[in-house]
């Protein structure tokens, strides 16, 4: 978004039969991203507000998929659609980006499935996932983070899938 106002950008996958359109809310002068895998699943988004999905040419009336307060990337680590992913990596950005930068505000990612997940704020140390603190999702699956926490990664997964999610993130850092 290269304008001075927030916009809702509609994105479509290569095959509209597999990928309904997605609307990303983008802050002024901010970037957005939607990644669909070869099966048409939405596996990654970057936005600064609501992410909606709908089956019509416009996403008006689309179903809310997730909501981002602030700026974040949310990525499925198990190649499932974000709505059903069991392993997620959340990459928050501190503050609200734009020209000029706005003051930092507490931020959050809301996705219903986060409510049933183990959520950790952490970092990679010598290519190993290192937990800095646990984050408890609020009602509705909302994970909040402040400006300092936004300098780290957030790993979320069902309890049975957490070790696999950590291994996936660790693999990103290795060159083998």
3-state SS track over the chain: CCCCCCEEEEECCCCCCCCCCEEEEECCCCCCEEEECCCCCEEEEEECCEEEECCCCCCCCCEEEEEEECEEEEEECCCCCCCCCCEEEEEEECCECCCCCECCCCEEEECHHHHHCEEEEEEEECCEEEEEEECCCECCCEEEECCCHHHCEEEEECHHHHHHHHHHHHHHHCCC
Give the per-residue pLDDT at 30. Answer: 87
Query: Is pLDDT at 9 greater than 90 in this prediction?
Result: no
Q: Is the pLDDT of residue 12 over 50?
A: yes
Please state whether beta strands 118-125 and 128-134 pair in parallel, antiparallel, or not at all (unpaired): antiparallel
Ramachandran sector of residue 70 (left: φ over 0; alpha: ψ -120 to 50; beta: rest): left
What's the confidence (pLDDT) of residue 16?
75
**Does residue 56 carry a pLDDT above 60?**
no
Rounded Cα–Cα distance for residues 143 and 154 (Å): 9
Q: What is the pLDDT of residues 119-173, one digit of tens each?
A: 999 999 999 999 999 999 998 899 999 888 999 999 999 999 999 999 999 999 8
Looking at residue 59, what is its pLDDT?
Answer: 53
Domain boundaries, the chain: 7-173
Residue 154 contacts residue 110 (beta carbons within 8 Å): no
pLDDT digits (tens, 9 = 90+) for 85-102: 999 999 998 766 555 556
Q: Contact at 8 Å (CB) between 29 and 4?
A: yes
């Amino acid at each position: 978004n290269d304008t001075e106002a927030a916009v809702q950008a509609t994105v479509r996958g290569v095959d509209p039969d597999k990928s309904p359109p997605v609307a990303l809310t983008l802050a002024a002068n901010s970037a957005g991203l939607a990644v669909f895998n070869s099966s048409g699943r939405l596996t990654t988004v970057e936005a600064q507000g609501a992410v909606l999905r709908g089956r019509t040419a416009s996403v008006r009336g689309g179903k809310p998929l997730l909501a981002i307060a602030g700026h974040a990337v949310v990525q499925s680590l198990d190649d499932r659609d974000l709505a059903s992913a069991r392993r997620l990596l959340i990459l928050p950005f501190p503050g609200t980006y734009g020209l000029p930068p706005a003051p930092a505000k507490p931020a959050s990612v809301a996705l219903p499935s986060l409510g049933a997940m183990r959520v950790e704020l952490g970092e990679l140390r010598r290519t190993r996932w290192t937990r800095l603190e646990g984050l408890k999702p609020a009602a509705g699956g909302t994970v909040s983070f402040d400006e300092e926490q936004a300098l780290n990664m957030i790993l979320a997964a069902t309890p049975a899938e957490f070790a696999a999610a950590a291994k996936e993130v660790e693999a990103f850092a290795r060159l083998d």
